[in-house]
Amino acid sequence: MKKISFLVILLGAILLSSCTSTNMKQDVYADFYAEEPVSILIMPVINNSVEVEVKDTFYTYLSKPLCEAGYYVYPPYLTMEILQKESAGDSEMFIEQSVEKFGSYFGADLVLFTRINYCSKMALLGQIVVNVDYILRSTKTDEILYEKTVEVVKDTSIDADSDGSAGLLGFIGSLVATSINTAIEDYESLMSLNCENGLGYLPAGKYSPKYGLDGEEYAGIKEMRISR
């Protein structure tokens, strides 16, 4: 009977520990909870990588996770049109400045800035790396209320010569194969994964059933690296 009691306690402890943490949202995002933001305006993506195309496509990933977190998110296409019309299409101009104007124009509580630091295919290492900053600022106080940097790495190397017998030719062959493979492979799945993690630790918004109840959930770390 003692054994059974021990097992019950052990399983209960495993269950509880899977959902509790010391790095809790209510501590890390105390200012966020205090402001009780409802709406989020997504700014155009800042792209510091050499891949020009990713700037616009990455923007399309941002709305869904924010809505699913329980926030009102301004319509992406209409918002982009208006931001460009109002000469606010370049987010770099605003990331260090006051964002109060976006509160008064749109009625947004928060403004989301995203910055693609790099998005690279490293043929020699056989890796694709996508590194992005996520910054949510309050339109009332200009303070940063949420900040994460996420790096997703995918190994794309092709082991053409596993026993090493082909020497230099084998290495070059492997390099070419890896290069072709990475050329075919695009960044999209990594971007989506990056985004899910970058915005996945937000406190729940008012449309979420977890609103006001997720303070003891794990807040995630500020800089994370995910290997795929």
Number of residues that bind another protein (CB under 8 A): 41
Q: Does 220 bind another protein (CB under 8 A)?
A: no
Query: Which residues between 50 and 69 bind another protein (CB under 8 A)?
Result: 53, 56-57, 59-61, 63-64, 67-68
- Closer to another protein by Cβ: residue 3 or 124: 3
- Closer to another protein by CB, 77 or 171: give it: 77
3-state secondary structure string, the chain? Answer: CHHHHHHHHHHHHHHHHCCCCCCEHHHHCHHHHHHCCCEEEECCCEECCCCCCHHHHHHCCCHHHHHHCCCEECCHHHHHHHHHHCCCCCHHHCCCCCCHHHHHHHCCCEEEEEEEEEEEEECCCCEEEEEEEEEEEECCCCCEEEEEEEEEEEECCCCCCCCCCCHHHHHHHHHHHHHHHHHHCCCHHHHHHHHHHHCCCCCCCCCCCCCCCCCCCECCCCEEEEEC
State which residue, 55 or 166, has the beta carbon closest to another protein: 55
Binding of another protein at residue 18 (CB under 8 A)? yes
Smallest distance, Å, CB 172 to another protein? 33
Answer for which of 74, 94, 134, 201 binds another protein (CB under 8 A) is 74
Query: What residues make contact with another protein under the rule CB under 8 A?
Result: 3-4, 7-8, 11, 14-15, 18-19, 38-39, 53, 56-57, 59-61, 63-64, 67-68, 70-78, 81-82, 105-107, 188, 192, 207-210
